[in-house]
Structure 1
Amino acid sequence: MLELIDKKRSGSYYTKPEIVSLILDLVGYTIDKPLFNQSLLEPSTGAGAFLVEAVDRLLDSTEHHHGKEVFSNDKKIFSILSKAITSIEIDSNKYSTLCDNFKKLLCNRGLSDNVSEKLVKEWVINENFLLWNKPVVQRYNYIVGNPPYIRIENVEDGLEKKYRNLYKTLFDRADIYVAFIEHSLELLDSGGKLNFICTDRFTKNQYGKKIRNFINDNFRVLHFMDIHNSQPFVEEVSAYPCIFTIENAQRGAGRTLRMDCVTNSYLDTAKNYLLYGKQPTTGDVETHKIDEWFKGTDPWIVNGKNAQLILNKLEKEHPVITDAPHFIHVGIGVATGAKDVYVINPNKIDIEPDILLPVVTKDDIAKGIIEWRGYYVINPYLEDGSLVSLDDYPKLKKHLIKHEELLKSRSTAKSNPTKWYKTIDRIFPERLEQQKLLIPDIKSKNLIVKDKGEYYPEHSLYYVTAGSWDIDALQAILVSSVVKFFIWSYATKMRGDYLRYQAQYLKKIRLPSDVSENDVYNLKRLHQEKDFVGIDHIAQRLFNLSDEELLIIQDLVQ
């Protein structure tokens, strides 16, 4: 358990050997080549999963081209191998263990103790990869690995600022692995290839837009494997992984593949398709060839050319949900930083009623309607945004002081010590009375629930206002397959193919402008009747889609 906690803190999750083998195959690091004349970099070595396989292949290649007797010639073997591998590990304890283990590996292959130690010291470097080789001095033919997953806000302040200055793709709340991708691509020699296994979040979400732009405009994406429903790591983790190969070459066609199983037979299938174009014989592996990879900050919609063409058409012909003529507001419920303190049941905790607002959470709408469980959110704000005086609210004061230590430990309280009982987000009571549609963050279907203006949304829910739309007609069009296609295109998928309905994706939804009174009537009627097929047909006409385009969309989002 302690080991797993340590791995989570360091962002380290170790890759299964069969995945490592596939990745090395995909970049072409194979023993038929004179690997000793080329260079391989592993930027975050960890336990050495990639390094073990790479060293084995390097030695096999050397033996194949020079004969086994070369291993007994210290001077020659050091000269041949010394520049072939570079392995970076930031953790000094892991570094020491790596050096010991790889010295033994080399000795077991017939190299002397002396030259084994010299090679390991040449290969394995105890440095922070993101600060190493800056500015770039040395470049590599192959870069492979599994970069760490650490949110940028969890990095110590001094380093965070330094990283953001060095890596322009560290945008918004990006993860450290984004900087690993950027720096690794900087280090690729012309014609060199990189392959990483990492989370697929950057391919569609907001914080990934700059790294997508960097890749899309400067490199060629050769392969992309969507394996977010599989478990390619030694420990079971929810990392939503993908595997991708990028070449330092002009833009060109790329092959994509999706599968939910990573057994050896499936990995062989993936290898044969991605490298050689051999189509799989099993129906549960989805493949596509993308003739021209995406441009600029475009999300990576890797399920085929048709999906991209349909999305481009919809984006060109219809305005986004927040713009004219729709003027729909997209928001997220209140974040308190201490839900158990601020969201209360008055039957259990006695608080002055005039500072309580009925609150709705994702658990209240799980069945598609609001089944309110009687919870309220404490509103500690006056109309002007200042905090209420606790002396004016003795019951509230007693409740908050009971949790004072917890509340003062929150970041929002540390930055405003005199306002230690403020919520992260300010609460606006007028929001309570607005009619709105409530949308949970993670879900498998278009669950959109109407609030007539009776509840304040909590942080587990996003909400949209009606804008210029009839709110019931808006609810109907939002559950259509066409609107789900927007979320499917932009949002990252969770395990089990659940989609994240976050504000950044909801704001990208396009809506038709020319909606008649008859359309409004029929949308409302069909939604009341739960006739989602009928809703899709109205949406098809309003969005100007052909029968074939609608079928493609329905097939993708079902």
Structure 2
Amino acid sequence: MRQLMLGEMLSSLSAIPAEAVEHGEVFTRRWIVDLILDLAGYTADRDLAKLVAVEPACGGGAFLAAMAARVSVSCRKHDRPLRDAERAVRAFDLLTPNVTASRQLVREVLVDEGWSLPEAREVATAWVRQGDYLLDPYVQEDVDFVVGNPPYVRLEDVPADRMHAYRAACPTMTGRSDLYVGFYERGLRSLAPGGVLAFICADRWMRNQYGRQLREFIAAGYSVDVTVTMHDVDAFEEQVSAYPAVTVVRRARQGDAIVVDARKGFGPQDAPGLVESIFRGEPVTERNDRYEVARLPHWFTGGDSWPAGSPSRLALIEALNDRLPPLEDASTGTRVGIGVATGADSVFITTDADVEPRRLLPLTMVRDTTTGSHSWSGHYLVNPWDADGQLVDLAVLPRLRAYYQRHAAALKRRHVAGKRPAHWYRTIDKVDHSLIDRPKLLFPDMKTIIHPVLDEGGFYPHHNLYYIVSDRWDLKVLGGLLLSRVAQAFVEAYAVRMRGGTLRFQAQYLRRIRVPRPETISAADRAALAAAFDARDTRAATEAALRVYGIEDAGDVIGGSAFVRGSGS
């Protein structure tokens, strides 16, 4: 009954426009397909006829051709007739031409392998089905493999009725998701215990907001076994800007994880050696001019963005994550925040507004931090908040009332004013008066290099500045750590990189930085870090930070491999 209802629903849905699907098709080179199948363990030495593999978006049959060849060899190795493999593969595609082409390709491969045309035709027809993998009621559960290259189609390009059906079927497809997120979810849900999903796909979901639910889903019940970043590899039949990565995920408790960075020049001559090193079953650290490999003791947990970077840098970050507390830490009273957003800077930020003097709060702007020292430019916030967090009474502040009323039209147009008309003169954020006199480290949002600047107190940060306050850290010592390339490595691993290499130094990324406990730092290293911070000497700060963090080799912090002492800081 459930299948019938779903079938009726599907028949009423608008089809995805063919041009949208075709735009999302990126065909994979054969040697890449073979690499993925090898990493998944879909190899001819296994009795593939008794296993079930799914190709959820077969396109022209790139994966199916390789799978057919392996099934053929496997059948002969295990003394099976080809018809035993009729249920060994299930492939789906929305487009009739793709279904026809895939069946024909499978037939040709099997005939070339020496099987008769009738049995090859029978198997090819059984393997390939026209349907929508995300919604098809006949998608098999408890399968052994899900492999392929899912389509890249933004949900906004899908008709509304089908988009809603996709979101209902695949809860991880949140926000401005891409269709491939749903393919990951449905494929993973279909796996039997121990089953493997291996996709080549754009890797943006590992770090961006719309991938958060998928990351949480994987962390809760699956093991990330292998990731192979292939941004500069010629992996597809056409040139595309897809930022691809191969991801191998197993339905099992998380074990160790292999991280590979395949560089420009990585090709079919390298794939067998890479596979051999991965399955050697021993600690792996391998680097050459075409790829680098590292074995991590486990993968990164939770829904927060997964770090990016070379395998050695990821190994470093994972080791520090395991050993040290995060920067924001209740035990040290260290907190990361952002300055005040007003919704109308032209009104609230001034150098000479005619208001009661106590309503002018000295405000730090990004320009005040440019030199690395706090140099106030004379800007104030026309402050509508009193010390207990309540809006001031304009009736007792005639100059402030007159100032705001002169700008009432602009202030009342803001969304925050529309939500609370009686509070039309508020800033978006409240002012935390306890922050004003505290020393704080300030960080401009957009920079290529981490740029901590010390405000000794007496100022409030603007919204384009993030801040750190602490009860136990000497902020110059902490500032030296955060000026170092170690802190930069954390932010580079997690942060969004914009055009021109600019990084977002937002609170969510600053919080990912790990630091030693302040009491474990020697007096000499505290002095060295503080002196480096005062001098804005990144090299000296990095040298001291390496000692404090217990990093024996500068390694990938500044461009090579990195090894972390098991004890120390």
Query: Does the Cα contact within 8 Å between 1:310 and 1:549 map onto a contact in 2?
Result: no
Structure 2 letter corresponding to 1:307: L
Given the alignment of the two structures, is residue 513 of structure 1 paired with residue 514 of structure 2, yes or no? no
Distance 1:207 1:513, change over 3 A: farther
Which of 22, 36, 43 lines up with 1:23 in the alignment? Answer: 36
Which of 63, 66, 75 lines up with 1:57 in the alignment? Answer: 66
Distance 1:14 1:350 in 2: 59
Query: In the alignment, which residue of structure 1 is the partner of 2:346?
Result: 344
1:403-429 deviation digits (Å, cap 9, x = unpaired): x5xx56xxx789x38589799942417
* Structure of larger gyration radius: 2
Secondary structure at the aligned position of 2:312 is classed as coil
Which of 439, 447, 452 lines up with 1:448 in the alignment? Answer: 452
Given the alignment of the two structures, is residue 535 of structure 1 paired with residue 541 of structure 2, yes or no? yes
Distance 1:224 1:80 in 2: 30
1:258 shift after superposition: 0.9
Structure 2 letter corresponding to 1:242: A
Distance 2:253 2:181 in 1: 22
Distance 1:40 1:387 in 2: 69
1:232-291 deviation digits (Å, cap 9, x = unpaired): 676755x65432112346765543211343x5x43642453035559988425222234x
1:286-322 deviation digits (Å, cap 9, x = unpaired): 22234x434754967843796267415642xx67443
Distance 1:30 1:106 in 2: 21
Query: Does the Cα contact within 8 Å between 2:86 and 2:126 map onto a contact in 1?
Result: no
Distance 1:230 1:333 in 2: 42
Distance 1:312 1:480 in 2: 17
Query: Does the Cα contact within 8 Å between 2:348 and 2:381 map onto a contact in 1?
Result: no
Distance 1:24 1:321, change over 3 A: same
Secondary structure at the aligned position of 1:243 is classed as strand
My pick for the range that moved more, 356-365 or 529-538, is 356-365
Which of 227, 252, 259 lines up with 2:262 in the alignment? Answer: 259
Given the alignment of the two structures, is residue 103 of structure 1 paired with residue 124 of structure 2, yes or no? no
Which of 218, 229, 247 lines up with 1:244 in the alignment? Answer: 247
Distance 2:243 2:417 in 1: 33
Query: In the alignment, which residue of structure 2 is the partner of 1:399?
Result: 410
1:1-37 deviation digits (Å, cap 9, x = unpaired): xxxxx99999985435225564345335578988676
My pick for the range that moved more, 385-394 or 18-27, is 385-394
Which of 329, 333, 336 lines up with 1:330 in the alignment? Answer: 336
1:423-447 deviation digits (Å, cap 9, x = unpaired): 9942417456654323245654322
Query: In the alignment, which residue of structure 1 is the partner of 2:89?
Result: 84
Distance 1:171 1:334, change over 3 A: farther
Taking only the aligned residue pairs, the percentage that are identical comes to 23
Distance 2:498 2:346 in 1: 30
Query: Does the Cα contact within 8 Å between 1:333 and 1:463 map onto a contact in 2?
Result: yes
Query: Does the Cα contact within 8 Å between 1:439 and 1:463 map onto a contact in 2?
Result: yes
Distance 1:215 1:353, change over 3 A: same
Secondary structure at the aligned position of 1:464 is classed as strand
TM-score (norm 1): 0.65
Structure 2 letter corresponding to 1:145: N
Distance 2:525 2:246 in 1: 44
Which of 132, 141, 148 lines up with 2:145 in the alignment? Answer: 141
Query: Does the Cα contact within 8 Å between 2:36 and 2:198 map onto a contact in 1?
Result: yes
Query: In the alignment, which residue of structure 2 is the partner of 1:3?
Result: none
Distance 1:229 1:500 in 2: 24
Query: In the alignment, which residue of structure 2 is the partner of 1:303?
Result: 312
Distance 1:449 1:156, change over 3 A: farther
Secondary structure at the aligned position of 1:266 is classed as coil
Query: Does the Cα contact within 8 Å between 1:484 and 1:557 map onto a contact in 2?
Result: no
1:512 shift after superposition: 2.8
Which of 172, 197, 200 lines up with 2:200 in the alignment? Answer: 197
Secondary structure at the aligned position of 2:518 is classed as coil
Secondary structure at the aligned position of 2:248 is classed as strand
Query: Does the Cα contact within 8 Å between 2:38 and 2:275 map onto a contact in 1?
Result: no
Structure 1 letter corresponding to 2:477: A
RMSD: 5.9
Structure 2 letter corresponding to 1:86: A
Distance 1:360 1:349, change over 3 A: closer
Secondary structure at the aligned position of 1:223 is classed as strand
Which of 284, 295, 310 lines up with 1:289 in the alignment? Answer: 295
Unaligned runs of 5+ in 1: 1-5, 68-75, 89-94
1:330 shift after superposition: 0.2
Given the alignment of the two structures, is residue 223 of structure 1 paired with residue 226 of structure 2, yes or no? yes
Structure 2 letter corresponding to 1:143: V
Distance 1:65 1:426, change over 3 A: closer
1:102-126 deviation digits (Å, cap 9, x = unpaired): 32554586799xx89x949961323
Query: In the alignment, which residue of structure 2 is the partner of 1:274?
Result: 275
Distance 1:365 1:8 in 2: 50
Distance 2:351 2:533 in 1: 39
Query: Does the Cα contact within 8 Å between 1:360 and 1:458 map onto a contact in 2?
Result: no
Distance 1:427 1:220 in 2: 43
Secondary structure at the aligned position of 1:510 is classed as coil
Query: Does the Cα contact within 8 Å between 1:189 and 1:248 map onto a contact in 2?
Result: yes
Query: Does the Cα contact within 8 Å between 1:26 and 1:271 map onto a contact in 2?
Result: no
Query: In the alignment, which residue of structure 2 is the partner of 1:524?
Result: 530
Distance 1:557 1:260 in 2: 16
Distance 1:101 1:164 in 2: 27
Distance 1:375 1:187, change over 3 A: farther
1:536 shift after superposition: 3.5
Which of 459, 462, 465 lines up with 1:457 in the alignment? Answer: 462
Structure 2 letter corresponding to 1:322: D
